[in-house]
Structure 1
Amino acid sequence: MKATIWHNPKCGTSRKTLAILENIDGIDLTVIEYLKAPPTAEKLAQLYRDAGITPQAGLRLRGTDAATRGLPDADDTAVLAAMAADPVLIERPLVETDKGVRLCRPQDVVLEIV
C-alpha cells in the first residue's frame, strides 16, 4: 500500500504518526516536509475533500495568525490560497493512502486508512 504523509519533524503528533506508518509492513511511504515543499491549493482541496473535512477544519490556529487574518470564517478559496502561500497554516499531519485521507490528530486516526 502506498502512503504519503505531509510531515513536520518538529511536531510530536506528526512524528508519532510517521512512526506508526514506518512500523507497518508493506507500506510504500513517501514523506513530504510540507513546510519545505508545500502542497498546492488544488492538492489541499483534494486532500480535505477526500478526508471529508472543510479547509477551515484543516486550518492550524495554534501558533499562527490565522484568527487575526479572519481565516476561520473565510471561504474555502481564501483559506486554501493562504495555506498554499504560508504552509504554517496547515494543520498536521495529513496522511493519504489508497483507503483515504485523514488529518491524524490524534495520531491513531491513521489506523483508519492503513
Structure 2
Amino acid sequence: MHNVTIYHNPKCGTSRNTLALIRHAGIEPEIIEYLKTPPKRETIINMVKQAGLSLREALREKGTPFLELGLDQPNVTDTQILDALEAHPILLNRPFVITEKGANLCRPCEKVLDLLPPMPPKAFAKEDGTPVLDEQGRRVI
C-alpha cells in the first residue's frame, strides 16, 4: 500500500494514535496538517462521501466555533457547512485517512485498521496504554 494520506492534528491524541498505527503497519503516510493546509471544498466533499458520512457528521463541535456559527441548527445547508469549514478548518473532525481501500474518519483510531493491510505480528497500544493489537497483530478492542 503506497498512497496513504492522513489529515492530521498533532495536538490531538486520536490523530497521533492513528498516525502511529499507520506507521506500525510499516507505512509512512502523506501527513497533511489540515489546520496549516486546509483541504479544498472538493477534497472535503470527496473524502466525506467516500467515508460514507454527511458533511454534518464530519463536523467537530468541541473546541470549535460550532455553536457560535449556528451549525447545530437543523436547517443548516451543506453549502453553509462547507463555507464554515473553509473559514474555520478546526471544524473538520479528525483524523481523516485516505488509502487505496477508501476513506474514513478514524475516531476511534482503530477505524484506520479497516483501511490498512494486515498488521505485522507485534503488539500495539495507544498513548495511554490501552491495547489495540495483540502480539499476533490482531485487534484487541
Which TM class, normalised by the smaller chain length? over 0.9
Matches within 5 A, 1:1-114: 1=1, 2-25=3-26, 27-72=27-72, 73=74, 74-114=76-116
Distance in 1 of aligned mates of 2:107 and 2:65:
20
Residues 23-75 of structure 1 show CA distances to partners (whole Å, capped at 9, x for unaligned) of 113x3510000000000111100010000000110101001121221223311
Q: 2:65 is paired with a residue of what secondary structure?
A: coil
Q: Which amino acid aligns with 1:82?
A: A
Between the two proteins, the alignment pairs up a number of residues equal to 113
Distance in 2 of aligned mates of 1:18 and 1:75:
32
State percent identity of aligned pairs: 45
Q: Which amino acid aligns with 1:18?
A: L
Question: Which gives a bigger RCO, structure 1 or 2 (Cα 8 Å, sep 6+)?
Answer: 1
Q: Higher mean Cα deviation, 67-76 or 7-16?
A: 67-76
Larger radius of gyration: 2
Q: Which amino acid aligns with 1:68?
A: E
Distance in 1 of aligned mates of 2:112 and 2:81:
24
RMSD after superposition: 1.1
| TM, length-normalised to structure 1 | 0.94
* Structure 1: tracts of 5 or more residues without a match: none
